[in-house]
Structure 1
């Protein structure tokens, strides 16, 4: 049955069926039907004939002047709607499926039934591919749109995660050991004063279009980062980038940077194919190519499709493909966190209850926080008011009330060994005293927050109301939130630190970072000097102390309210192996595989 015919049936049912039961005639005219279907009466007759042939309706044309025709609906609307929504989802049209249900499914259980079906649609499946062989595919639902896949402009963790699937960097940070390990570069060294760095590229690496990686691609990528990119901070103090031969890249710095190799492991330093970027211009970014473990085969408003790179230099991915479905948040899909349980092998019968599934839980390296916009006039200009706001928020109660992935109260950007035992000061009485000392007279404050932080924002709004502080909460999409926060007194969001030092510096220096843009110029200049000292530090401990002074001042002067640390979870059947959660909070695709046999008994 063609989907176009079913959609027209649903349009007619919506307009004429009303409370009429299946099989009951409804009087209509061809002109009435033409108005609903937006076509001529001649085309209406063709549509009706098609519907009759497929058993959807019975049509009794009127005979003679004044005699109206009769239309008899013979198929259940909900069944037809659910079947069509499933067909749309299977071909990747998730947004259209939800729009269809929203239009025709009011007052029914179709949306709930469709969402339940989606929970089984997503996850791991071994399916027959076009070449008749089995294809291992992982389908993931997300409510986060991809803002950009240009490494130089990425801001959100989800974008950075996808960039890491498509592109590679010169070196990588091993999350387990905290050490820098080879990637596109097999070796590297720096001068004694850490002002000259040299990287040596491995042989045999190719971009997805088949062209070999050369030092010119690296030079082009890094030079591009220096010019008008949100992450040009990564090239701070770089004075010269040279490619003395096809396999060597040499970088000179004006100031010492003893963790420049860590800088090169950042997602923003992902290496681009020079010739393809220059040739295709903006078109390149609609389907970018890199050297990474996965290649983009389709990217639209409904989904992103990735296929394994068969010649990946670090070993082919076990999965053949990944499909990421962009679920419309306005339809309230229950699977916003579904990726935590999506690693289900649908090709085998479930023999163990969910409670016995394997799981991975990690503490997200970052926090949820609120930054005050010091470039805008308002109560936040008073340090007493900012301190009062800090004291009136009970982080532990916030975690107890809201639950979900909120784990511990936050004192700073990242959790440490003491985080589970630390108590963050909360004092309602002192908060009220500070509000009076600040001369606060009840002026409303405007808080911006993304869609994923709605409940956090509304909880803070309620606590502030208890102290006579009206908060106007504005919930914005990620795209709108990133573009302009000049009218906000504060912004509530989360920071994810993929790599400790580099991502912390990024928060202070990236163009568009709420933390940077909201701080006073004097503070930003002081922070920049602290970062220079940290980069020149000869030991990790010294560097951490220097960077920690920036965070300490943010906390002491209450420019930032650190709120909670969150956890990442992934629950999956025991047969699925290689499941890890990256520091960005997402499942690493490359090493996921399925154990099809019973395994070896030890």
Structure 2
């Protein structure tokens, strides 16, 4: 509200004057205080008189001064303006407003208290006079992209999952594939042709019916290779609809993992005319998900329950997401009713120690080294110095609670036993005779587990080039001397959430003689070619909880920070390993009944754990990455808010949340998620 700004400008200029206290001014003084012409000063004072905020008596005759009286509370005007900015979805502007010079101290104190109450659970009434539930969440990440084909950051993909649907859905809690838009699917005997059978009467958010044509168009769009997630359809030769509700996908090579890949957020289905929709001014994403997006600005996204959703509908009617500046993380940790608080270690969380919480491992903090250009590209000795020169246990101790353990590669400790332990519900793949349509997989056997551990923990006969993951400052200094390093600054780029760790690493490397310059950049800037060309080192968290498609994505997506920093020769080694994995039969009962020639099966078989071990050996054996620490996130859950299940990205599924009490229980605090996934 421009008028509030003018009033506060006057009050801060004559801050010694109180309300209802008349004093003399000239029109020239008013113009100077308002930083405008005398003509505009007269217009502004007239508007302030009109709303009753001032009394202004103009001086009659040349040389006579006017009389000005402030009638409205300076504090109240400032507070009302700050609240209005928040309600418009601009928290950053509200915070900047209340922190202006000469603003009364009580403005910020009162506003912060109100802001904490503003977030959280509230009820109202819809236009149909029904009770409507709203959950307001402060988020410390910008929404960068909601096109599922190009969304790569964790919060973006979280929203994609709410707004869109996929042919197949993946449930991380029990590692199960479930029907999505397709109620059934099957493949031919050699895994080169898959058929997906769609539910009928599914509607998009604009009320159009979904057909196989929409699915075909969505997947063919990915197939162009122009998007971050085009890798999902690598080796697909044709996609067509054989029936209004049947989609057939043909591949040039067997891929028995295709249903899992199609559960990825990047394979979400959009309307077939997505190109025309995206070109409309202010167009909002259109999907078939449990929520539809009804508002999106720089500072706010509003999700509304989609009443015609084909599955189990969302239980909270409206989710309002307000973007809070990352450096202001603590401001929203108020006492709002029904708040979720996701703890990621960027601020003091001792106030939450007595509250119930869930925890989940999310990923691995790591350094990816630029192997394509710059000083590290060919200097393996310097890369070794970076690898052996960091004490991972000391880093974990220094960074605190979300740094849970030294990292062992692109895998989390609790994923070791689960990597092949996946259930598929209702796929009926070819010769599946299971009457319930449920097939369980045995866990990894001891021999395979031993091999898997060897690839991640110590040198083995299978991967003799894999070095020990240990801190060895003497070896680091030795390698530094051999590298002919002349003290040039290595350029380290990272996001703001990793700033503390970046400066800790800078100091650790300084002690062994390596100079690091730290650059904190925005989420979108990190993905730019200019940044990647300048960066010698990138510090980020690889979000890898959940199923194998996370690790596959890091190695094959053209937007992956890992892939974009690796040399072509390493990528060439990865490709055949992945193709061998995808043409291997997953350890899922029912798929094993597909009849393959025994000799062919023996040649092509490659387990997920062996693939992971091989990728790890390539990255670590060439000192292309420095794995630092496993990361976790926790969520503090109010006792009356149910359906809270953290996913592998450290987020909760909004559509599963519901409230079991209407009275206000003990107050808890704000949602503050600090997790990124440039996957």
Tell me if TM exceeds 0.5.
yes
Aligned to 2:421: none
- Is residue 184 of structure 1 aligned with residue 178 of structure 2? no
- Offset, 1:123: 1.5
Change (3 A) 1:47 1:397: same
Large movers: runs of 4+ above 4 Å: 18-27, 35-47, 52-55, 104-107, 338-342, 353-356, 421-424
Whether the 8 Å contact between 2:117 and 2:334 is mirrored in structure 1 is no
Query: Is this contact kept in 1: 2:293–2:304, CA < 8 A?
Result: yes
Change (3 A) 1:416 1:547: same
TM-aligned CA distance change 1:482 to 1:67, over 3 Å: same
Asked if residue 173 in structure 1 is aligned to residue 159 in structure 2, the reply is no
Counting only pairs closer than 5 Å after superposition, residues 80-119 of structure 1 correspond to structure 2 as: 80-103=77-100, 108=105, 110-111=107-108, 113-119=110-116
Of 432, 445, 448, 2:477 maps to: 432
**Corresponding residue number in structure 1 for 2:118:** 121
Match of 1:491 among 529, 533, 538: 538
1:556 pairs, out of 609, 621, 631, with 621
Q: Which moved more, 1:572-581 or 1:27-36?
A: 27-36
Which residue is 1:241 aligned to? Answer: 239
Q: CA shift at 1:20, angstroms?
A: 5.0
Q: Which moved more, 1:47-56 or 1:526-535?
A: 47-56
Count residues in correspondence.
584
1:274 aligns with 2:282: no
State how 1:566-581 maps to structure 2 within 5 Å.
566-581=631-646
Native 8 Å contact 1:141 1:335 kept in 2:
no
1:345-389 CA-to-partner distances (Å, cap 9, x unmatched) read 9xxxxxxx965543221111x211110111112146322221221
In structure 2, the CA distance between the partners of 1:339 and 1:369, relative to structure 1 (3 Å rule), is farther
SS of the residue corresponding to residue 153 of structure 1 reads coil
**Take 2:314 and 2:65, find their aligned partners in 1: how far apart are those partners?**
64
Q: Secondary structure at the match of 1:524?
A: helix
Specify the SS of the correspondent of 2:204. coil
Deviation of 1:594 after TM superposition, in Å, equals 0.5
Change (3 A) 1:66 1:519: same
SS in 2 for 1:495: strand
Question: How many angstroms apart in 1 are the aligned matches of 2:331 and 2:408?
Answer: 31
Structure 1 segment 397-546 matched on structure 2, within 5 A: 397-417=394-414, 425-484=470-529, 485-497=532-544, 499-540=546-587, 542-546=607-611
Structure 2 equivalent of residue 257 of structure 1: 255
CA contact (8 A) 1:171 1:265 kept: yes
More displaced, 581-590 or 165-174?
A: 581-590
CA gap of 1:377–1:162, structure 2 versus 1, over 3 A, is same
1:12-49 CA-partner distances (Å, limit 9, x unpaired): 123x2255555665543223334554766566446435
Match for 1:306 among 287, 303, 307?
A: 303
Report what 2:313 is aligned to: 316
The root-mean-square deviation of aligned C-alpha atoms, in Å, is 2.9
- The CA deviation string for residues 184-238 of structure 1, in whole angstroms up to 9 with x for no partner, is 0000011222111111001221111111111111110110001122221111100
Question: For residue 350 of structure 1, what is the aligned residue in structure 2?
Answer: none
Alignment partner, residue 143 of structure 2: 146
Q: Which moved more, 1:191-200 or 1:215-224?
A: 191-200
Question: Can you list the C-alpha shifts for 1:60-80, whole angstroms capped at 9, x where unaligned?
Answer: 533443333343445443443
Change beyond 3 A, Cα 1:273–1:525: same
**CA distance 1:467–1:37, change in 2 (3 Å):** same
Secondary structure of residue in 1 paired with 2:56: strand
Report how far residue 97 of structure 1 moved. Answer: 1.7
Give me the TM-score of the superposition, normalised by structure 1: 0.90
Question: Does the 8 Å contact 1:207/1:213 carry over to 2?
Answer: yes
Q: Hey, what's the Cα distance between the residues in 2 that align with 1:109 and 1:460?
A: 40
Contact 2:113 2:334 in 1 (8 A): no
- TM-score, normalised to structure 2's length? 0.80
